[in-house]
Amino acid sequence: MKNLLLLHGALGHSDIFKPYEKELSKYFNIHTLLFSGHGNTELPENAISIEKYTEEIKDYLEKEDVKDVCIFGHSMGGYAALCCALRYPERINSIMTLGTKFDWTEEQALKESKMLDPEAILLKVPKYAEQLENQHGAKWKQLLPAIAEMMVALGKNPPLNESSLWAISIPVQIMTGDKDNMVSIEESLSAFRSIPNAKLAILPDTKHPMEKVRPNLLFDLMKDFWNLS
């Protein structure tokens, strides 16, 4: 059986893949990874960065001795997966990304990062604050500014751009929802055009959060891309 690694996004959790695991385990050995600072993992001392998360994927694959792995990455998980394919292509078979942001600029990253103010979230979106606390414990208030810093660093120096994406040679499927208010169809199209062996899928009536994605729609795309039967 092939191996499948499921990667959550920033401020997400590997639990979001629970609705998918039973069906996918018919075709794959399922692996999930919690990025540091998320869930019950410690916040890294030397800040969160996309480079750190790229290394965490590589370290996990080495530790578990997983070769020829298929990866599904939601949002930042997809970005880190592609960075990993760029640096360590020998262990990765193929990648599907959903809701992954490619168009990082300093101005836009600063704007996004300002929305990650714990006190403002507590005041304006208490249900989201409760969800963050349930997923990440009391340290969620430290996790938000750490993710905000990572976004600003991405804006200043994005590792994935037109010239670097050309170097990814494995099969990739870029996917975004047509109602995603964080990721534009245009930036997904641009990334798709930059990766030599890429496909593109736009999911109808689909927003950014993983829990808003209809599982059957995603299963069908996975089965098509990975030729599952």
Whole-number pLDDT of residue 110? 85
Whole-number pLDDT of residue 128? 95
Q: What is the pLDDT of residues 96-138, one digit of tens each?
A: 999 999 999 888 888 888 889 999 999 999 999 999 999 999 9
Whole-number pLDDT of residue 229? 82
- pLDDT more than 70, % of the chain: 100
- Residue by residue, DSSP assigns the chain as -EEEEEE--TT--GGGGHHHHHHHTTTEEEEEEPPTTSTTSPPPTT---HHHHHHHHHHHHHHTT--SEEEEEETHHHHHHHHHHHH-GGGEEEEEEES------HHHHHHHHHT--HHHHHHH-HHHHHHHHHHHGGGHHHHHHHHHHHHHHHHHS-S-SHHHHTT--S-EEEEEETT-SSS-HHHHHHHHHHSTTEEEEEETT--SSGGGS-HHHHHHHHHHHTT--
Residue 57, pLDDT above cutoff 90? yes
Entry pTM: 0.96
